[in-house]
């Protein structure tokens, strides 16, 4: 991605644009920011209502796209067509394949065409065709080191400071929990939280960890982690209180169980490697856990034997099976499981 992204930045800076771009991936904030830069370039030509055409899922058809591609710019040298969220490249389609072939066969020199899609199946013939002709950039969720740099930059531009440690803590607090083994942090969510923190900390011009605690609602993954931490610290009442808060917020039981299970699974893997004498760096590499956050996992894994952690994992898995088979109601099963983990 870095090579393509560097080329994209260079082209936007010089306004010397390629003819076709394919933007894919789940980090929509980054994608949208680059698309806005394209729009600004073409707005400078004037007559943008004719020369910047946007086709979303509702407006899109093969006919409307071909019409947009083949029509000439109005009182300008170039035009921009943006196709977004159509799902064109998620599954095989002879119509899509033919459409791409027709566009590439006689591509107008005045046109810049952007396909903006969440998912693109690289095995599809149409995607393979585009990769040969287009600048193809996948915008995946950034991981913690890159997020920290971005958070620091956003804060600095707004006139406040934030340490790397606090930036990492903010990123973890915003982790959606969609992936058990890596951080999934939406930059859109982060930007909203940064803007709130900047206003809150404007006078002292520095964002501290306690400011994040006060202003940023922890993600479900973070709250599940904290609940387990309470249990491991023998604070059963605190863990039950947190569970009641999750119930009031109507958080899905299945997702809580999944997060509990995946977290305990991570603790088992960390415990196994620790017992085998692996270093912190080696454990991070073997487990895929970020080194910055590894001390938390190492600390929790040391509180119990490997057998006890396996028993905990099995208890969570059993609760999941009982709910799915109708043997227990969801919240009753979860509450009994959490209390059982405290024993």
pLDDT tens digits for 154-167?
999 999 999 999 99
Which range marks the domain in which residue 157 is found? Answer: 144-215
The pTM is what? 0.72
CATH number for the domain harbouring residue 148: 1.10.8.60
Whether the per-residue pLDDT at 181 is higher than 70: the answer is: no
Tokens of 168: 């990492």
Q: Which of 252, 301, 300 is nearest to 276 (CA)?
A: 301
- Final residue belonging to a domain, choices 104, 138, 172: 138
**For residue 289, what pLDDT band results from cuts at 50, 70 and 90?**
confident
β pairing state of 20-24 and 135-138? parallel
**Residue 285 in this model has a pLDDT that exceeds 50:** yes
Mean pLDDT over the full length of the chain:
89
Asked if residue 316 lies in contact with residue 264, where contact means CB atoms within 8 angstroms, the answer is yes
| pLDDT, position 223 | 84
What total of structural domains would you count in the chain?
3
Same domain, 68 and 97: yes
pLDDT tens profile 28-45: 999 999 999 999 999 988
pLDDT reading at 260 higher than 70? yes
SS3 content of the chain, % helix, strand, coil (to 5): 60, 10, 30
Please check whether residues 115 and 95 belong to one and the same domain.
yes
Query: Does residue 176 carry a pLDDT above 70?
Result: no
Together in a domain, 318 and 240: yes
């Amino acid at each position: 991605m870095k090579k393509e992204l560097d080329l994209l930045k260079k082209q936007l800076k010089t306004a010397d644009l390629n003819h076709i771009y394919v933007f894919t991936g789940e980090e929509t904030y980054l994608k949208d920011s680059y698309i806005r830069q394209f729009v600004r370039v073409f707005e400078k030509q004037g007559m943008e209502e004719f020369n910047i055409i946007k086709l979303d899922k509702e407006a899109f058809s093969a006919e409307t796209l071909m019409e947009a591609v083949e029509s000439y710019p109005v009182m300008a040298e170039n035009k921009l067509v943006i196709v977004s969220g159509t799902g064109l490249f998620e599954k095989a389609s002879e119509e899509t394949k033919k459409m791409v072939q027709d566009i590439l066969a006689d591509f107008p020199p005045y046109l810049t065409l952007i396909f903006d899609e969440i998912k693109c199946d690289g095995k599809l013939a149409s995607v393979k065709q585009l990769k040969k002709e287009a600048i193809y950039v996948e915008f995946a969720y950034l991981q913690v080191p890159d997020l920290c740099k971005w958070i620091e930059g956003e804060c600095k531009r707004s006139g406040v400071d934030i340490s790397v440690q606090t930036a990492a803590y903010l990123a973890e607090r915003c982790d959606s929990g969609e992936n058990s083994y890596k951080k999934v942090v939406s930059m859109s969510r982060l930007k909203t939280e940064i803007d709130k923190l900047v206003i809150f900390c404007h006078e002292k011009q520095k964002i501290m960890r306690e400011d994040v605690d006060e202003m940023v609602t922890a993600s479900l993954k973070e709250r599940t982690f904290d609940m387990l931490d309470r249990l491991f610290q023998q604070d059963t009442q605190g863990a039950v209180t947190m569970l009641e808060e999750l119930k009031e917020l109507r958080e899905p039981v299945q997702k809580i169980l999944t997060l509990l299970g995946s977290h305990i699974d991570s603790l088992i893997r960390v415990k196994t490697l620790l017992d085998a004498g692996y270093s912190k760096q080696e454990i991070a590499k073997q487990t895929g856990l970020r080194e910055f956050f590894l001390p938390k996992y190492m600390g929790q894994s040391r509180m119990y034997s490997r057998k006890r952690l396996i028993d905990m994992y099995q208890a969570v898995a059993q609760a999941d099976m009982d709910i799915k088979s109708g043997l227990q109601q969801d919240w009753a099963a979860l509450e009994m499981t959490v209390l059982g983990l405290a024993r």
